[in-house]
C-alpha cells in the first residue's frame, strides 16, 4: 500500500479495500449457494440413507486407552505436586494437554483420593492430597 498524506487519500484507500472485500464475500457466497443447490436431495432419499458412523478410534471424541489415561494422570499428578493450588488453565499446558483432555484423568485421581479440588468452574484449584504414609508422625 502506498503512503497516504491526507485524510482523503486514506478514506479512499479504505473504501477500495472494503469494496474488494465485499466483492470477494459475494463471489464466495455465490459459490457456496451453487454447491448447496447442487447437493440438495429430496427428503425421501435422506430418510432411506443410513447414518454413517465414524470409526471409534479416530478423531476427537474417540475413546482413549486406559494406559494413556493412566500416563496422563501421573503426569498431571507430578505437575500438581510441583505447583499445588493452581487452576487447570495453568496446569494443563505444563502437563502438555488441554484442560478438556485432563477432565477424565483428574476425575480418576480424585476418586482415588490423590487429588482434591477447591472452588467451582474456572476458579477451581487443585491440590495433591497427603496420604497417611506420607504424614509425619505426631512424635516428630
pLDDT of residue 30: 83
Give pLDDT tens digits for 55-88: 445 556 678 888 899 999 999 999 999 999 999 9
Whether 58 is in a domain gets the answer: no
pLDDT of residue 52: 47
Whether 59 is in a domain gets the answer: no
Average pLDDT over residues 114-125: 92
pLDDT of residue 46: 47
Whether 48 is in a domain gets the answer: no
What total of structural domains would you count in the chain? Answer: 2
Q: For residue 126, is pLDDT > 50?
A: yes
Host domain of residue 27: 7-37
More confident residue, 139 or 55: 139
Whether 60 is in a domain gets the answer: no
pLDDT of residue 40: 62
Task: Quote the CA–CA distance of 109 and 72 in Å, as a whole number.
Answer: 11
Task: Quote the CA–CA distance of 3 and 31 in Å, as a whole number.
Answer: 35
Task: Classify 114 as helix, strand or coil.
Answer: coil
pTM: 0.52
Q: Under 8 Å CB-to-CB from 87, ≥6 apart: which residues?
A: 122, 123, 124, 125, 126
Give pLDDT tens digits for 52-63: 444 445 556 678
Give pLDDT tens digits for 6-41: 888 888 888 888 888 888 888 888 887 877 787 665
Amino acid at each position: 500500500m502506498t503512503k497516504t498524506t491526507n485524510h482523503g487519500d486514506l478514506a479512499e484507500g479504505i473504501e477500495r479495500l472494503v469494496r474488494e472485500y465485499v466483492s470477494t464475500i459475494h463471489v464466495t457466497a455465490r459459490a457456496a449457494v451453487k454447491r448447496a443447490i447442487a447437493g440438495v436431495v429430496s427428503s425421501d432419499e435422506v430418510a432411506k440413507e443410513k447414518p454413517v458412523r465414524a470409526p471409534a478410534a479416530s478423531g476427537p471424541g474417540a475413546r482413549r486407552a486406559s494406559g494413556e489415561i493412566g500416563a496422563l494422570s501421573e503426569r498431571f499428578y507430578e505437575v500438581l505436586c510441583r505447583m499445588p493450588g493452581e487452576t487447570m488453565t495453568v496446569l494443563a499446558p505444563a502437563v502438555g494437554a488441554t484442560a478438556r483432555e485432563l477432565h477424565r484423568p483428574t476425575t480418576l485421581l480424585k476418586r482415588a483420593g490423590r487429588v482434591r479440588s477447591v472452588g467451582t468452574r474456572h476458579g477451581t484449584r487443585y491440590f495433591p492430597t497427603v496420604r497417611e504414609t506420607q504424614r509425619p508422625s505426631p512424635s516428630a
